[in-house]
Amino acid sequence: MSRKTVLDLQKMKAGNQKIAMVTAYDATMARLVDTAGVDMVLVGDSLGMVIQGQADTLSVTLTDMIYHGRCVSRGLQQAHLTVDLPFMSYQISPQQALQSSGRLVKEGGAQSVKLEGGERSAPAIEAIVRAGIPVVAHIGLTPQSVHATGGWRVQGRSEAGAQQLMADALAVQRAGAFCVVLEMVPAELAAEITAALEIPTIGIGAGPDLDGQVLVCNDLLGFDSSFKPRFVRRFATLEDTMIDAVKTYVADVKSGLFPADEHTFHSKSRRAKVARLY
Ligand code: KIV
């Protein structure tokens, strides 16, 4: 089985087929979401929060992204793999953006890279695309700019903000991005942008009228009941399932129910000796 390509994903927009994208950070999760049939897997810099326990994504390094990209890449059979360019790995210059993207492809197994920003990131997108590396752009709420935007807020609510977002979307398409993520944008504006673009739009907190949706795998699977932004639907509550399973393990270890005989290796010659000890 071969991995989905940029062309496959673009054909999905043309054929009105929705794109399902989800994050993954290790080979096991990658294997599971790939088997479930997602079209795109994103190694998001959300791993700073979800995996590393940080308050935001700003401290994630290119080395972190390469490591997790390589892990996820090993778990995929059919889904397309996009890896995030982390904060300060592409903002300095288009050359820096290209160098970092090259490492995500060569060392991190990425088929495409994702970066944040609209008009301001167009020169970086052009440089990366010119080198033959497909780019996913990310506009709307851009978590790497959290200190400038003043928090995790819906973007594009004002007329000026909406016009800027439309300009950003058109700029990244013009620069050569093959796809764009819209995060925390009013549904009506996201629908307008989707209609205006030839490239697929993927939404997170942007309503239903996009070409696809993305969620963080831990949110979708319900790993953390204390985190429930409006745009997340928990398709399972694995937090409860996992805590219950581990509670049972703890109880069975303490009571001696685990390990049972079927989990145990025996030595016939020593059995009689040990039996005498007990
Ligand atoms: O880092 C990430 O997981 C993301 C998605 C939420 C789009 O950028």
Q: Tens of pLDDT along 243-252? A: 999 999 999 9
Residue pLDDT, tens place only, 20-49: 999 999 999 999 999 999 999 999 999 999
Provide the pLDDT for residue 24: 98
Give the residue extent of every domain in the chain: 6-236, 241-277
Task: State yes or no: pLDDT of 268 exceeds 90.
Answer: no
Q: Of 225, 192, 222, 224, nearest to 210 (Cα)?
A: 192
Centre of ligand 1 to C-alpha 203, Å, is: 10
Atom of ligand 1 lying closest to residue 214 CA: 7
Mean per-residue pLDDT over the chain, rounded: 96
Q: Which fold has domain 6-236?
A: TIM Barrel (3.20.20)
CB 30 within 8 A of CB 76: yes
Task: State yes or no: pLDDT of 216 exceeds 70.
Answer: yes
For a mutational test of ligand 1's pocket, the pick from 19, 38, 46, i.e. the residue with the most ligand atoms closer than 8 A to its C-beta, is: 46
Please tell me the pTM assigned to this model: 0.95
CB 190 within 8 A of CB 201: yes
CA distances from 63 to 60, 147, 213 (A): 8, 23, 27
- Give residues with Cβ within 8 angstroms of 10, minimum separation 6: 178, 179, 199, 200
Supply the residues annotated as catalytic: 183
Centre of ligand 1 to C-alpha 44, Å, is: 5
Of all protein residues, whose CA lies closest to atom 5 belonging to ligand 1? 44
Residue pLDDT, tens place only, 80-130: 999 999 999 999 999 999 999 999 999 999 999 999 999 999 999 999 999
